[in-house]
Amino acid sequence: MRRVGAVAVVVVGSVALLARPWLVDLPLDPVTVLVALFVVLGLVGATWRLPAPADARPGPVPAWLALGLGVGAFGAGRLLAVGTLPAAPLVLRSVVLNSLAAVSEEAFFRRFAYGLAAARGPLLAVVTSAVAFAAVHVTVWGWAVLPLDLAAGLVLGWQRWASGRWSVPAATHVAANVLAVW
């Protein structure tokens, strides 16, 4: 029964992320709404009790190497994409909000959702967390970016498996978001 409740929380959290464009249209300050969403999502993702094997085992790759490979992949992607996407100005507010979003999403997808699926094997955990991650970005970035978000989710999921930690994809996601506004 606890597993069913956890899956329901993943669904509710994913729906809330899908609803971001409509949430910011509420008659409230959009920054406050987004910060509240990401704080709740991050707290749920970081604190939900998972089976011990989900977070207890060390990964087969040193965390520093998984982090370096992930950040390198996103950096290379950013270099290849220069001029194709409008870059937001690099301002403190944007970096802070994007970093909060990155850490919250990784706690939610790479710790919580991955941890739930890991009992059925790491491949399923990587793929399901990546698909969910890509899907929740469709309402923000559109269908055209779905393959890129899926690839990003697979890299972040691989990092989670390889390092055995969700903090490695979280750091990579922060770096990727900073690169996106640079």
- Number of domains making up the chain: 1
Q: pLDDT band at 59, cuts 50/70/90? A: confident
pLDDT in tens, 72-128: 999 998 888 765 555 555 578 888 999 999 999 999 999 999 999 998 999 999 999
Question: Is 0.95 surpassed by the pTM of this model?
Answer: no
Task: Tokens for 84, please give them.
Answer: 């194709």
Q: What is the pLDDT of residue 88?
A: 55
Please state, in angstroms and rounded to a whole number, the distance separating the CA atoms of residues 139 and 120: 29
Q: Residues 22-34: what's their mean pLDDT? A: 91
At 54 the pLDDT is: 47
Residue pLDDT, tens place only, 128-175: 999 999 999 999 999 999 999 999 999 999 999 999 999 999 999 999
| Predicted local distance difference test score (pLDDT) of residue 4 | 84
Residues ≥6 apart with Cβ < 8 Å to 100: 35, 38, 39, 42
| Interval 61-76 mean pLDDT | 93
As a dihedral over the C-alpha atoms of residue 108, residue 110, residue 112, residue 113, rounded to 10 degrees, the angle is 100
Confidence of residue 181 (pLDDT cuts 50, 70, 90): confident
**Would residue 164 be called left, alpha or beta, if left means φ above 0 and alpha means ψ between -120 and 50 degrees?**
left
Q: Which domain, by its residues, includes 107?
A: 2-181
CB 156 within 8 A of CB 70: yes
Looking at residue 93, its pLDDT comes to 82
pLDDT of residue 179: 87
